[in-house]
Amino acid sequence: MIKSYVALALFCGSSIIYGQDWKDISIPVTAGAGKVWQLQSQSDDFNYTSDATTKSADFNAKWTDFYHNAWTGPSPTIWRRDHSYVADGQLKIKASRTSGVNTNTGCITSKQRVIYPVYVETSVKIMNSVLASDVWMLSPDDTQEIDICEAYGADRWNNEWFSPKRLHLSHHVFIRTPFQDWQPNDAGSFYTNNVTVWRNDFHRIGVYWKDPWNLEYYVDGVKVRTRSGVSQIDPNNYTNGTGLSKEMDVIINTEDQTWRASQGLTPTTAELANEDNHTFKVDWIRIYKLVDSDAGFENIKNSGVQIFPNPSSSVINIKSDKSIKQLSVFALNGSVVKTVNLNGESKTIDVSTLHSGIYILKIQMADGSDFIQKLVKV
């Protein structure tokens, strides 16, 4: 992977992340006045290799190679650690059946939890299978769940609501004892544009978990579903008035779901022989927190470097007490939009071609030191 200076190193001065596959893909949710989207280190573009049996350091830094507790999956699913791996720049979760009726699949869980306000988006290729292809979030106590992606890609189905032209965009609230589960059952919970067969290509599916009572779902960058308020989030008060308020783990897996298997919608041995049809592929997953626009930026006021005017619509002037080597301008998604070699103590930089918004300036000094500053382009 190519390391990038942007992301957490710029925003919160702690971690360095990498040049991502999504670097040229904008976030479809507007941050709003005084806010920016801060990329989280749990994000993963899977641009490394991790064997199915011996997971790599890159994988282990972000993922636990199993469900978030000891549960082995909904019968007849058996989650196995050797059924998830990373290759060809993708996370791959395969399915198999060695004997009997159990279906072996993989399941991984994030090592960092997420909490609103957060935008989570993934680029996935749904399996051509009756199995479920899943990316979801679940609280550690299994009482609150947000389904980012749940889909069934096979042509073999018993109900049109579960056809390969639909994506399940939903959430759950639970009471564990005695067990009760509420989830939306409106038509929009199984999204379709009546054209796209989702298994045929990679698609971006995201959810903006705005707060405990507001969810927005996005498909390929377009908002397709909104759930807001008590009546649409928790009408039975299973959360005791708190809504979707708990931290959640991010989980990626495939399942032979009990309610479908009981209807005969479980893979046949002949179907499972086609491993590609029964491999869920995830190109990337990105996670952004909504933070104050000034959060974590390094103050260069006393560094001997001056940048003015800021905000600017046309040019910025850079003056320094010591020699500046290079200026780099980053978009908030991590992509470099401008690089200028300065080799001096002052320079006027044209920023008129930049779109309006917030950018990050990285100023590299001749002595090897770096300074970071926010730029507002108007």
pLDDT category at 364 given cuts 50, 70, 90 is confident
Looking at the fold, whether 288 and 309 belong to one and the same domain comes out as no
Q: Beta strands of 233-314 (E only): which ranges?
A: 249-255, 279-292, 305-308
Active site residue 145: yes
Residue 121 among the catalytic residues: no
Q: What local confidence, expressed as pLDDT, does residue 281 receive?
A: 98
Catalytic residue, candidates 150, 216, 255, 271: 150
Three-state secondary-structure class, residue 161: helix
Note the pLDDT tens digit of each residue in 326-341. Answer: 888 988 777 889 998 8
Residue 135: CATH number of its domain: 2.60.120.200
Do 26 and 76 belong together in one domain? yes
Determine, yes or no, domain membership for 180. yes
On the question of pLDDT at 3 being above 50, the answer is no
CA distance 229 to 78: 37
As a whole number of angstroms, the distance between CA 220 and CA 196 comes to: 11
Q: What is the pLDDT of residues 244-280, one digit of tens each?
A: 999 999 999 999 999 999 999 999 999 999 999 999 9
Say yes or no: 347 and 212 in one domain.
no
Which residues form the domain of 337?
Answer: 305-377
Are 283 and 342 within one domain?
no
Q: In terms of domains, do 94 and 218 share one?
A: yes
Whether 320 is in a domain gets the answer: yes
Would you give the DSSP letter of residue 352? Answer: T
Region of poorest pLDDT, from 67-76, 140-149, 159-168, 231-240: 159-168
With cut-offs at 50, 70 and 90, classify the pLDDT of residue 302.
low
Evaluate whether 363 touches 344 at the Cβ level (below 8 Å): no
- Looking at the fold, whether 205 and 85 belong to one and the same domain comes out as yes
Ranking 28-37, 124-133, 248-257, 266-275 by mean pLDDT, the lowest is 28-37
* Of residues 116, 119, 222, the one with CA closest to residue 167: 222
Confidence check: pLDDT of 18 > 50: no
Share of the chain above pLDDT 70, in %: 92
**Residue 335 located in a structural domain:** yes
Q: What is the pLDDT of residues 44-58, one digit of tens each?
A: 999 999 999 999 999
Nearest to 336 by CA among 310, 370, 362: 362
How far is it, in rounded angstroms, from Cα 243 to Cα 331?
34
Task: State residue 182 phi and psi, 5-degree precision.
Answer: -120, 135
Q: In the listed set 292, 318, 335, which residue is the last one of a domain according to the structure?
A: 292
b/e code 291-302 from CB counts within 10 Å (16+ = b): bebeebbeebee
pTM: 0.78
Looking at 262, 292, 322, the residue that finishes a domain is: 292
Give the active site residue among 145, 216, 255, 271: 145
pLDDT surpasses 50 at 88: yes
The domain that holds 318 is classified in CATH as 2.60.40.1930
Tell whether 93 is covered by a domain: yes
Answer yes or no: is 49 within a domain: yes
The pLDDT value recorded for residue 250 is: 98
Q: Does residue 16 have a pLDDT over 70?
A: no
Higher per-residue confidence, 352 vs 90: 90
Residue 298 lies in a domain: no
**Structural domain contains residue 234:** yes
152, 86: one domain: yes
Residue-wise pLDDT for 142-160, tens only, equals 999 999 999 999 999 888 8
Number of domains in the chain: 2
